[in-house]
Amino acid sequence: MRRFFAKYRFFFIVFSILSAIIIYLMYTALTPKQRLPIYQPSMVNPELVDSTLHYKKKYHTIANFKLINQNGDTITEQDYDEKIYVADFFFTTCPTICPIMTKNMAEIQGHILDDDEVMLLSHTVTPQIDSVAQLKKYALEKGVIDEKWNLVTGDKKQIYELARKSYLAVKTDGDGGPFDMIHTENFILVDKERRIRGFYDGTDAEEVKKLLEDIELLKASYGG
């Protein structure tokens, strides 16, 4: 028996290796690839969505926009063409969750610094207060890198509609006053087709970690 196995030793080794490869390939083929959901308005808390979109179940994308960043440059959807990006809503004088959100967004910036595929976009919900000069001051204080992260201000109505009708990310108290947008802690992950792929608590370190993992998962879906 020993002589038999010795004689065919090479065959058994090759056979074992090939079997292991075949089993691995079969397992890989049969294991469903992890994919991020594509969020539609009907999948999101109605408090965060404009009433006109509550029952929309497909084809939701981020609308075109035209805003001004911390350097006074015009920023549009074209600046994010073919980019994955993380968006949020804040204001520079916010004393509560914004400093934590900005700190965590800066952490994300550090992770994507050399990644041409990913960018950041923060919208002020108080554009009447957050002028270009105010945003620039804030950007310098928080370590914002212009090539990776735009802090944008502009027409309040446009920002409001983006928040409620595109990013599905803020509440409203409807008083019509200067603080009629109640921003949330949401970080929103947007893909290259301008579709929402995830919502994350921007004040929670574990959620930020999950966001970074999902960015890599989304990049992999594009072959990146």
One-letter amino acid identity for 159?
Answer: I
- 39-50 as b/e: b if 16+ CB within 10 A: bbbeebeeebbb
Query: What are the φ and ψ backbone dihedral angles of 42, each rounded to 5 degrees?
Result: -70, -10
Beta strands 149-152 and 118-124 are: parallel
* Residue 123 known to bind ligand: no
Report the pLDDT averaged over residues 200-219: 98
Residue range 70-93, pLDDT digits in tens:
999 999 999 999 999 999 999 999
DSSP letter for 51, please.
G
One-letter amino acid identity for 102?
Answer: T
pTM, full prediction: 0.83
The better pLDDT of the pair 14, 128 is held by: 128
SS3 17: helix
Q: How many CB atoms lie within 10 A of CB 135?
A: 24
Residue 75 contacts residue 148 (beta carbons within 8 Å): no
Q: What CATH number is given for 41-221 in this structure?
A: 3.40.30.10
CA distance 29 to 80: 34
The better pLDDT of the pair 177, 121 is held by: 121
What is the dihedral angle through the alpha carbons of 29, 32, 36, 37, rounded to the nearest 10 degrees?
A: 130
- 16 pLDDT tier (thresholds 50, 70, 90): low
Report the pLDDT averaged over residues 180-199: 91
Range from 5-9, 93-97, 113-117, 178-182 that averages highest in pLDDT: 113-117
- Predicted pLDDT at 75: 98
Residue range 154-175, pLDDT digits in tens:
999 999 999 999 999 888 755 4
Q: Please determine, for residue 198, whether its predicted confidence score (pLDDT) is greater than 90.
A: yes
Q: Please determine, for residue 25, whether its predicted confidence score (pLDDT) is greater than 50.
A: no
* Residue 94 known to bind ligand: yes
Q: Give first-to-last CA distance, the chain, whole Å.
A: 52
Q: Please determine, for residue 208, whether its predicted confidence score (pLDDT) is greater than 50.
A: yes
Residue 101 contacts residue 205 (beta carbons within 8 Å): no
Which residue, 131, 141, 63, 64, is CA-closest to 91? 131
- Predicted pLDDT at 183: 76
Q: Could you tell me if residue 59 is left (phi over 0), alpha (psi between -120 and 50 degrees) or otherwise beta? A: left
Structure tokens at 191: 């893909």
Report the pLDDT averaged over residues 114-119: 97
Looking at every residue in the chain, the average pLDDT score rounds to: 87
SS3 68: strand
* Residue 183 known to bind ligand: yes
- 6 pLDDT tier (thresholds 50, 70, 90): low
CA distance 88 to 121: 7
